[in-house]
Structure 1
Amino acid sequence: MWRDPGTSADSFYEVRPDCTDVPITKFRIKAGKTLSVRKWQAAFTPEGYLDIGRVLGRIQRGGIHPLIRSEVWEFLLGCFDPKSTFDEREQIRHQRRAQYAALKEVCRQMFPIIGSGRYITAPVITEDGDPTNDPIVLLEANLDEGPDSLTQENGISRSSVCVKEVDKKIIQWKLTLHQIGLDVVRTDRTLVFYEKKENLSKLWDILSIYAWFDTDVGYCQGMSDLCSPMIILLEDEADAFWCFERLMRKMRGNFRCTERSVGVETQLTNLATITQVIDPKLHQHLETLGGGDYLFAVRMLMVLFRREFSFGDSLYLWEMMWALEYDPDLFAIYEEPHSVAERPEGSKVKPKSISQCGKFERENMKNGAKNSDAPLPISVFLVASVLKDRSARLLTEARGLDDVVKILTDITGSLDAKKACNEAIKLHKKYLKKAKKA
C-alpha cells in the first residue's frame, strides 16, 4: 500500500537559489504524527487552559507543523504557563512588549543605531572609552557625508554615535556591538529571509539588547545561531526577544565565563563521564589521543547542532528535545524570585504531574531525581549518541584529534533528528541504570 511520505518543511524556510550545497531537510509534515493546527487548537479549553501533556507525545513523535511552531515554542520554552487563560497570556504579552520597548529605548539612548534599521560591524569604542571614529562605523550609520551630518529618517548625528564613555558597564557593552554585527552577517546567510537588511538589523538589535539585559553573560559567539530561528518564527520583535531570553535561561550556563573556566566545560565533563560509562573503550581511545577534555564537542553543545543539521531539521530537533525534557514547573520557576534549586530550605514544592512531563523528564523523576538536583540536559546525551554512532570509525580511523574533528564534521547533513533523539533517550536510560548501580 502506498503511503504519503509527508510534506517537506523546506518550503517554509526558503533557501537562496545560489546555495546549492545546503543539506535538504529530512523533516516531513506527516498526518497523524506531526502536531497539526487542529490538534493544537483542540488541546485548549474554551478559557484557554492547555493540556500540555496531550501535545508533548505528538511533538516527540513527529514535531510541530511550521504554521503553529512559534505558538508552541513559547509554551515549550516556558514563556507561558499552560494553566493560564487566553486573557492572562494576552496581558503578559502586552506587559513584556512594553518591557522590551523600554529596554530598547535605554539602549537606543546609549547608542542611537539601535532600532534604526542598521547594524555595526566595526569597533565603535576603545577599552578606555574613547570613540574610534572608524570610517566603517560612520559609513554603516550613514554619517560619512560631513562632520555633523544628520540622517533624515531618525535624526542620528555623528556626535550622538561617537561619544566618550566613562561608565565601565556601557564601555563593556559597546565593545561587543561590532562582534554581534560580524556574527549577524554570517548567520543563516543561505536563507532568503536574511537577504533583507531589516531582518539582519532586527537580529542585531535583539542580541545587542540582550547583551545589556544580561550583563553577567553579555554576548558570546554562537548566540546568533540560537536567536536566528526566533527572529524568523516570531513576527513581533519583542516576542522573539523573550523567546530567545527563555532559551538562554536554559543555555546561559554554557556561555558564562570566569577567569578560571568556561561555562560549557561542565557539560563537557558530563559528556566525558557518560561516554566512559556507556562506551569505555571509546573514552579510553579519545583520552589516548589527547581528547579527554572533549573540546571537539563544544560547537554541538553551544549551538545545539545548528551546524550539523539543515535549518528545518535543527528546528525539528530542538522542539523534540524541549518536548522530551519539558517540566510543567518551568513557567513558575522562571517567574518566581528563586529557582527550584535556590528555594530556601524547608520550603514546600508542589509535586508535579508526571503526565504533564516530557519523556526525558519522567525518566529523571522515576530514577529519584530530587528538586535540588540539576539533571543533565538531553543535549549532552545527544552528543553522546553521535559519538557512539561513530564509535567504530573513531576507534579505527582516528589517529589524532584532527581525525576526530574530521569524522564528526562529516556527519553534517547526514544525521536524522528523530533517530538521534531516540538514541539519546536510550543512552539516558542506560546511563541512569549504570550510575544507580555504581
Structure 2
Amino acid sequence: MWGWSGIQEQPPGSHPDGDSACTGGPESKLPATSSLQSLFDEAGRLDLAGLRKVVAERGTDASERRVTWKFLFGVYPAGSTAEERRRLDQQLATRYRSMRSAWRRQFPSAGRMKVQSDLELSLAIETYEAQQGAEADEGGGGVGPGRRLTQLPPRPQHSQWVQSLSQPQFLATLRDIDADVPRTDRHRSFFQRQGLVKLLYLREILITFVAFHQDIGYCQGMNDFASRFLQTLDSEFDAFWCFATCMRRWAPSLSAQGVARRIQTTEELLQRVDPELYHHIARTSEEKLLFCLGWLLLRFQRELGHEDAARVMELGALEGDPAELAPGILSPPGREGEEGLAPRLATVSFEVLLCVALLIQHRRELLQHQHVHDFFLFAHRLQGKLALDALQRADGPL
C-alpha cells in the first residue's frame, strides 16, 4: 500500500463521498446501540481477537459493518484510536479521488460508460453525469462519486503508474468491466433505489483498482465482490479500500491454480465424509466437482441473499492469518503424512466446507442424476435461492 505522507486532508465534517446515504463524516465509530462497544477502550482501540471471535460465533450486525469490516479486511490498523481512524478515513478518501482522477486524465474516453439497448442504464449514466456536473459547480468540501476533480491534481506517482498501462491492455480490461457491471445484481433494491446510479460507482471502483493493481488485473467475479462491499458499506471510497485489500489477499485463490486446488480439496473432503456421493459424481462425470466452480470462485455471492453473502465474506476475512484468529476457528496443522488429508483439512476454507455441506444436504437429488449436465443445472438453479439457516438446520451451526 502507498504511504500516507503529504496527503491533503478534506475539511472535517464532510463525508468523503458526499453520498446522501453516507452523510455525517467518516464512519470511524460504531453506532451507539452496538453490542460491540465493550471491545473498544476509551481511546477507541479495538480488541481485534474479540472481534474475530464475535464474527466466528455469530457475525456482526449490518449497522456495525462500516467499522468492523475495515478492521477485518485490513484497512484499519488493529491498534488505531478513533481519532487516528478519522484522519485515516480522510486520507484514504483523498488518495482514492487522486487515483481515480489519474486514470481519467490518462484515458478520458473511459470516463463515460457506453451501453447499447439498455434504456434503464442509459438513464442512470445521464443522472450520474448530471450529479458530477452539479457537484463540480458547487465547489463544496464534499466530493461525490464521479466528480470531475479540477482542484486536486493526481500525485506524480499516480500519473506515472497509470501511464505505464498500455492503452490496448487498459481498453481490453475496460471492455470486460463494462460487460460485467450491467449484469451485477441490478435487481437488488440497493442498486434500484437510485435508478441504477450506484452501478456507476461500482464501475469507478473496479477501473481504479485495475489501474493501480496491474499485477493482479481484473477477472470475472471481481464485480460480485466489489458489489458486496459497496452495498454493505454504502460508500464508494470505503468499498474501494476494503475491496483492494481483500483482493490482494484473495487474488491467489482466484487464479486458475488456486481454484484447481480448492476443487481438489473439496473433492477429497467429500470423498472422506460421503464416499457414496463422491463416487457417484465421479462415475457420472469425468469433470467431477467442476460444477461447483462458481460457488468456490465467488464464495457463494450469487447463490445467497445479501445478509448471508455478507456473513460468508466476514468468515472469509478470518482466513489467512491463523495467529490472529479466535481459538478454535482453524485446527492446528497436522504433520506432513499423518492421515494423508489432515494437513490440508486443517486449514480448509469456509466456502469449501459450505460446498460440501450443500452437496450432502442435496445428496438424494444428486444421486439421481445420470448425466453431467444435470449437475450443472442443479448448480445454476441455486442462484439466489440458497439460505445459510437451512444448512444450519441440516448440518448444525455454521
Paired residue type of 1:375? T
Query: For 1:39-438, what aligned pairs fall within 5 Å after superposition?
Result: 39-112=35-108, 118-121=112-115, 169-195=166-192, 196=194, 197-256=196-255, 261=256, 263-323=258-318, 325=319, 327=321, 352=323, 357=326, 359-361=328-330, 363-364=331-332, 367=334, 375-395=347-367, 397-412=368-383, 414-418=385-389, 420=391
When normalised by structure 1's length, the TM-score is: 0.64
User: Compared with structure 1, are the counterparts of its residues 209 and 381 closer, same or farther at alpha carbon in structure 2 (3 Å cutoff)?
Assistant: same
Distance 1:311 1:240 in 2: 15
Give the conservation status (yes or no) of the 8 Å contact 2:263–2:290: yes
Distance 1:58 1:407 in 2: 34
SS at match of 1:67: helix
Per-residue deviation, residues 10-39 of structure 1 (Å, max 9, x unmatched): xxxxxxxxxxxxxxxxxxxxxxxxx99431
Ranges in structure 1 where 5+ consecutive residues have no aligned partner: 1-34, 123-137, 143-150, 157-165, 329-351, 428-438
Paired residue type of 2:207? S
Give the conservation status (yes or no) of the 8 Å contact 2:125–2:197: no
Give the conservation status (yes or no) of the 8 Å contact 1:44–1:51: yes
Shift in Å at residue 241 of structure 1? 0.6
SS at match of 2:113: coil
More helix by share: 2
User: Compared with structure 1, are the counterparts of its residues 235 and 168 closer, same or farther at alpha carbon in structure 2 (3 Å cutoff)?
Assistant: closer
How many residues were matched structurally? 324
Distance 1:418 1:320 in 2: 15
Per-residue deviation, residues 207-228 of structure 1 (Å, max 9, x unmatched): 1111222223322211111111
Paired residue type of 1:111? F
Structure 1 vs Structure 2: percent identity of aligned residues? 26
Shift in Å at residue 326 of structure 1? 7.4
Shift in Å at residue 139 of structure 1? 12
Distance 2:332 2:166 in 1: 40
User: Compared with structure 1, are the counterparts of its residues 426 and 289 closer, same or farther at alpha carbon in structure 2 (3 Å cutoff)?
Assistant: farther
Distance 1:36 1:387 in 2: 41
When normalised by structure 2's length, the TM-score is: 0.70
Paired residue type of 2:282? E
User: Compared with structure 1, are the counterparts of its residues 301 and 415 closer, same or farther at alpha carbon in structure 2 (3 Å cutoff)?
Assistant: same
Distance 1:71 1:419 in 2: 29
Give the conservation status (yes or no) of the 8 Å contact 2:232–2:310: no
Two-structure CA RMSD over aligned residues (Å): 3.7
Distance 1:424 1:77 in 2: 28
Distance 1:235 1:288 in 2: 47
Shift in Å at residue 420 of structure 1? 4.1
Distance 1:169 1:279 in 2: 50
